[in-house]
Amino acid sequence: MTRFMASAPQPEAAEAAVDVLRAGGNVVDAAVAAAFVQTVVDPQMCGIAGFGSMHLHLNGGPHLLIDFHGRAPRAVTPEMWEPLIERECDDGFGFVLKGRVNEIGYRSMTTPMTLKAFDEALRRFGTMSLADALAPAIGYAEEGFMVRPAVHSFWMRGEDNGRVARIHGLIDHPETRRIYTKADGAIHGVGDILRNPDMGRTLRRIAAEGAEDFYTGAIAREIAADMAANGGLLSMEDLAACATEETAPLWFEYRGHRVATNRPPGGGLVIALMLRILERFDLRAMGHNSPDYIATVAEAMKIATAEKDARMGDPRFVNIPEEELLSDAYADAAAARIRAGEKAAVPRLGGGHESRETTHICVADAAGNAVSMTHSLGSSSGVVTPGLGFMYNNCMMVFDPRPGRAGSLAPGKARFSALSPTIVFRGERPFFLVGAPGGTTITMGNLQAILNAVDFGMDAQEAVSAPRFTATSETIELTNRILRSTERALKARGYPVKRHPFSHMMPLVHAIRLTEAGLDGGADPAADGMAVGA
């Protein structure tokens, strides 16, 4: 019987997690060690200067979330970017500004929270030292890792409706260019070994001095000096103020299962709203990915997206009507509108697409201990402080530059994100762990994986591999494996439809299923990851 299971978009991370479990570490040790590896081998998807959400369930012990969303620096003002607006992204999660100042460079960063969260999780719930958890990552930084197709594909992604071509995040900044290009100036190719000794030295410093060196010590002073010299917004005061938040899970029920997910500013409320609506329909009877099924689920996606845009945000700054959104009355009314054929409106300012870069790790054991964690750099700022080797997040990109709105800029504010590591329970025992990278499509991918496992009885790999669709605007986007007859039927109902050329589409969903027969895992086939058990 499989006793341990890990799933991640990077094989190195999944293997690191299982190595820790085999050596006697617990699921928290395994998740953190794997996540540190991710920061090295997928360095534009995540990093120690990133943000995220960690969902922990320890059998017979605590069940909680460690929220580590980045917060806007103290130097931010609500109106500072309003004159620079060009347009809003199609899915309402980010804006294109003149000069792309919110997307790349020294003014695009929120506070770096990831290292703080990993250190806290280890100290409170792990058995390993921070130094031991860092050791596999240090090895990959110093000895190098093989550039994989998904990593290289991101590097070579071109300009997308006003978004900066990602190559600029690797070559525009001299320190970054030194790491990611070869002697002839070319970007490392698929199969090349990329070494980052500066990152290795930084991780060794953290292992020796502790995480606080990054927030109040010598490393913090290097970060603050670099920011001040280049017009950055982050300061020593911002670094010293970094703190995670422990929250209780957001609980709700779906078809006799208890579902636990994260609270705002994470995206779990969006998943809860959609599942509460969809519980009013016999989805299995409709048939998986039939026109009726896609239209019904897409309408729930659109309703949730419109609510997210208008009424969800950082609960420190926004009064979120959670009780209303999760009420029977709300779900009944929304389901009635869907049955009547109404199409939900999802207004947008202009056009464009959100960058969809993040990573995820699921780890579980046969005793029911589980961690589902999503962490990110946004789409990465392209900035590396000389000698430190790691890249900073660019989460300022997703704030609303218009004052007076749920997602508007404010000092110390976190922007609502779709990060939604979720655990579905059967009784008191975890049944299905799920999470994904992929911008606002995260919640839509997690939703469909849950439906696949609960409504259609799929195992973890089937649940994350089945053809998907998404509706974060008024257009239904289809993977190329959705039948064309289904596409025609949706168009006949008046839906705008966009077919992607890919067999698999964002987000990159990863999952673990726990059954009486053991554990099975799933890794999204759209990327380079894997699920591995022992």
Distance CA 509, CA 511 (A): 7
- What is the structure's pLDDT at 357? 61
| 369, part of any domain | no
Catalytic site residue 247? Answer: no
Q: Judge if 95 and 181 occupy the same domain.
A: yes
Q: Judge if 307 and 205 occupy the same domain.
A: no
Q: Judge if 173 and 190 occupy the same domain.
A: yes
| 366, part of any domain | no
154-163 — which CB contacts under 8 Å span 24+ positions? Answer: 154/44, 154/45, 154/357, 155/44, 155/180, 155/187, 156/187, 160/352, 160/353, 160/355, 161/96, 161/351, 161/352, 161/353, 162/86, 162/87, 162/96, 162/352, 163/96, 163/100, 163/103, 163/352, 163/353, 163/355
- What is the structure's pLDDT at 96? 86
The domain in which residue 288 lies consists of 247-353+419-533
Q: Judge if 65 and 150 occupy the same domain.
A: yes
Amino acid at 397: M
- What is the structure's pLDDT at 157? 73
Pick out the chain residues at pLDDT < 50.
350-356
Q: Judge if 227 and 310 occupy the same domain.
A: no
- pLDDT tens-digit readout, 365-392: 999 999 999 999 988 899 999 999 999 9
| 280, part of any domain | yes
* 476-478 and 469-470 strand pairing: antiparallel
Tokens 């750099």 identify what position? Answer: 377
- What is the structure's pLDDT at 233? 96
Domain tally, the chain: 2
| 203, part of any domain | yes
Q: Judge if 176 and 316 occupy the same domain.
A: no
- What's the residue count for the chain? 534
| 406, part of any domain | no
| 403, part of any domain | no
- What is the structure's pLDDT at 354? 41
Q: Are 452 and 466 in contact (CB under 8 A)?
A: yes
* Selected catalytic residue, list 358, 374, 441, 443: 358
- What is the structure's pLDDT at 153? 81
What CATH number has the domain bearing residue 494? Answer: 3.60.20.40
- pLDDT tens-digit readout, 405-418: 888 999 999 988 99
| 411, part of any domain | no
pTM score, two decimals? 0.94
Distance CA 368, CA 57 (A): 8
Q: Judge if 308 and 449 occupy the same domain.
A: yes
Give yes or no for a cis peptide into 507 (omega within 30° of 0): yes
